[in-house]
Amino acid sequence: MTEHRRQGAAAGAAAGAGAGGEWVAPGILRLSLPTPYPVGDVNVYAVLGRVPTLVDVGPGSPAAREALMRGLAAHGLELRSFAQVVITHTHLDHFGFLRHWFAAPAVTAAALAPAASPAPEPFRGAEPVRSPDGRPRQPGSAPGAADGILAREAAGHAGAGCAGDLAAGDDATGDGGRRLAASRPRLLAHRWGARHFRGGDDPDRVRFFRDFVAAAGVPAAEAGGVLQEMGLYQAAEPAVPADAWLEDGDAIEMGDDRWLVLHTPGHAQSQICLYRERDGLLISSDHLLPAISSNALLEPPPLDEHGRPVRPEPPRSLVDYRVSLQRVRALPVSLCLPGHGEPFRDPHRLIDRRLAAMEDRADRIRAALAELGGEATLYRLATYLFGNGDPAHLLLALSEVNGHLEWMESEGRVRRRLEPAAGDGGVAALFAPA
């Protein structure tokens, strides 16, 4: 890995992008991968050094997988070059490839990894930085004498269908090829995303969205399409448990540095940013994007790796997102490395614009309620503001408006009234200005 560190240092942050990616900082390579989703290309980051780390892996589509392999190979890298993978949040454009890399028995190194590279140095572990009172230390605060290392390993991470079942060199395909998972790196993700690593087997999530669609007043003719969209998404999630579940305030080694884990729920309940305190570099992922605003997506209550709730109240995505934005705004950030789009500076001004846009949207929702007769269901509001579209479009519109209504309700700007839902029971919610 010494040569890769030298390449990154020589190229520096000003290096231009090419077929093999772009050096966005010394030792940090950005690879932009195509996705089959409207958001467009997604960024993954190779952080090279003592603990070579891949931050996110992209979707599982063939085009993205080929782009990842070719981009790594252009720098003498392959999947086996990495000691660990860190997932910033559990959306398929960022972690979908895991189901092919870590758990698919038919995927071989010969098929996906064209270049050879040195074996990675040993993984150095996740190290929570704690204050003397036991709480995670905040950025910039001094460590106390009681700070220590707490390794939180996920029990049984080498279970059925996972990489730990095979030793390097075992033939898992019958054709002499090596299963990629046989040499898989350590996998780290935030604990609040644990339910998304179960391979789609989550009946509670199905019930959550069924109840949500009913309460939103979605007509039966469209509700089926929305639920089918969620089912297809859920089925594509990987059955790959993490090796260590991260918490807010943890410090992990990536490359040659220690990075602070910032839990920033909002866009996703599992969303994290990775902050390098020595120079203010922030891998913001989808928490902060330069060209588009991150949708604070609706999710069921997050569960830990044992299926237990991790927060006492249901998530309110936009309320969470606003708190997370304010938290990042308080940090000295020199450069943001986003999940989509180009690296950018001055995130504080961007955050101010995002917060102001939320206020504008809230004003538009209050006006729409008046235009719709003073009271409306979530479905009627969403289609009034964003129009009708396919199930994916409708789901995003419902999530966007629902987040704003929850935030406005928390501040006493709207009120909700419940009434029996049409059809087979349940409860529908109607919203009105407070």
Tell me the per-residue pLDDT of 179-208, one tens digit each, with 9 for 90 and over. 343 468 999 999 999 999 998 778 999 999
**CATH number, span 203-233+357-433:** 1.10.10
pLDDT in tens, 85-123: 999 999 999 999 999 998 644 343 344 443 333 333 332
* 2-199+237-345 is a CATH 3.40.50.720 domain: no
pLDDT at position 341, please?
97
pLDDT above 70: percentage of residues in the chain = 76
CATH 1.10.10 domain span(s) along the chain: 203-233+357-433
pTM as predicted: 0.81
CATH 3.60.15.10 domain span(s) along the chain: 2-199+237-345
pLDDT in tens, 267-316: 999 999 999 999 999 999 999 999 999 999 999 999 999 999 999 888 99
What average pLDDT does this structure show over 406-433?
A: 91
pLDDT at position 426, please?
79
| 261 DSSP β-pair partners | 274
pLDDT at position 423, please?
67
